[in-house]
Amino acid sequence: MNGNAEVIVAGHICLDIIPTLYEKRTSMDALLAPGKLVNVGPAVISTGGAVSNTGIALHHLGCDVKLMGKIGADQFGQAILTLLRELEPSLASGMIVSPDEHSSYSIVISPPNMDRTFLHATGANDTFSASDLKQDQLHGAKLFHFGYPPLMKTMYEHEGTELATLLKKAKDTGLTVSLDMAKPDPESIAGKADWRTILTRTLPFVDVFLPSFEEIVYMLDHERFDLMMKEARGGDLLPFANGELLAQLSSELIQMGAAIVVIKLGEHGLYVRTTSDEKRFAQMGLCSPPQDQLGDWLNCELISSCYEVDVVGTTGAGDSTIAGFLLGLTRTLTLTDSLQTAVAVGACNVEYADATSGIPKWAVIVERINKGWNKREMKLKLENWILNEDQIWIGPHHKSKKESVES
């Protein structure tokens, strides 16, 4: 690895194999009945996971990116490397190839008019450890992003000791560290892990924490999560999100050590809360806001709804939104502009069926926003919030709602 990338994206990566299914069945059991021959079309083969989705989105936006996922020296691993090199040869130069491991893969069964089913093998992701990260690999970078530790066994076992060691290793080099999550199966070993303890241990080394609403409720409050699931329609917990609950969750995460908390709200947009501790921002590393912009970042609470688009698919939407926010950090944008960029990149993503082909260059994003791109109506309950002229909702815990609206 040459070490000259500005952003390193590490964590979970896999090969997605998606057969084209033509037959319409009333259930997955009927589709996959024993002895049944199901006629399928060509398979779409692509990379998947946080490393691929967020990393390639950042590459499309114009960032110099290196990807650091762990794969085996098998045919699936070679396919992953080939796909990455076809995009940009340098993307694959940081990949970790272990001759003793099998590469992770998913078979995505997506019949017409039915929810998808995933057959997933975690493979080499399960053995990714702090020792796989070499100090010289971080040289020249500004930001280290790690994604999907709940899908990587070594990262969540022993109450997250290895994850904390890995993130501290990156943090000690002076990089800004960001962390994304995934919700594990509640019945799995990962689902039964003590995520509150894991977060308490790891967030002191995380500058920007970017979970989804569902993930963080599950990890911080199992009882609340279970009650929501009992009342949810179709398992959708997002209607339960509201300003008060988001403030409660983000306050707890900031107390655990994060400087910036970004909570993905799916079709409802993106929530951001920042610390009021100026010293904590000074410890953010190479992507810390410049001193003359620090006042724009301290003690903020904001929500942006999604931009209006025709939705074709939502694969990788959260990962792309994260890419947009991280781009803002690397380009020293204001918090408001970083938030706008994040939801704009997410909107571009859902205009296409796959995870990354809808992401344009950053200049195209800026032009689209500047031309007056409208946002969707906010449907979450936001009591005592104010909508400003930039279509940003300002929360009651924001430093000065009045000043923000006037500015």
Gyration radius from the chain CA atoms: 21
Q: What's the pLDDT at 39?
A: 83
In a domain, 375, yes or no: yes
In a domain, 354, yes or no: yes
In a domain, 266, yes or no: yes
In a domain, 357, yes or no: yes
pLDDT one digit per residue (tens) for the chain, 407 residues: 444 799 999 999 999 998 887 766 556 777 778 888 888 889 889 999 999 999 999 999 999 999 999 999 999 999 999 999 999 999 999 999 999 999 999 998 877 766 677 889 999 999 999 999 988 889 999 999 999 999 999 999 999 999 999 999 999 999 999 999 999 999 999 999 999 999 999 999 999 999 999 999 999 999 999 999 999 987 889 999 999 999 999 999 999 999 999 999 999 999 999 999 999 999 999 999 999 999 999 999 999 999 999 998 888 899 999 999 999 999 999 999 999 999 999 999 999 888 898 999 999 999 999 999 999 999 999 999 999 999 999 999 998 644 444 44
Q: What's the pLDDT at 2?
A: 44
Domain with 328 in it: 7-12+50-103+123-406
CB 25 within 8 A of CB 111: yes
How many domains, in total, are found in the chain?
1
In a domain, 112, yes or no: no
Q: What's the pLDDT at 237?
A: 94
Q: What is the distance between the alpha carbons of residues 381 and 385, in angstroms, rounded to a whole number?
A: 9
Q: What's the pLDDT at 40?
A: 85
Give the max Cα distance, the chain: 68
pTM as predicted = 0.93
In a domain, 23, yes or no: no
In a domain, 80, yes or no: yes
**What CATH number corresponds to the domain at position 235?**
3.40.1190.20
In a domain, 41, yes or no: no
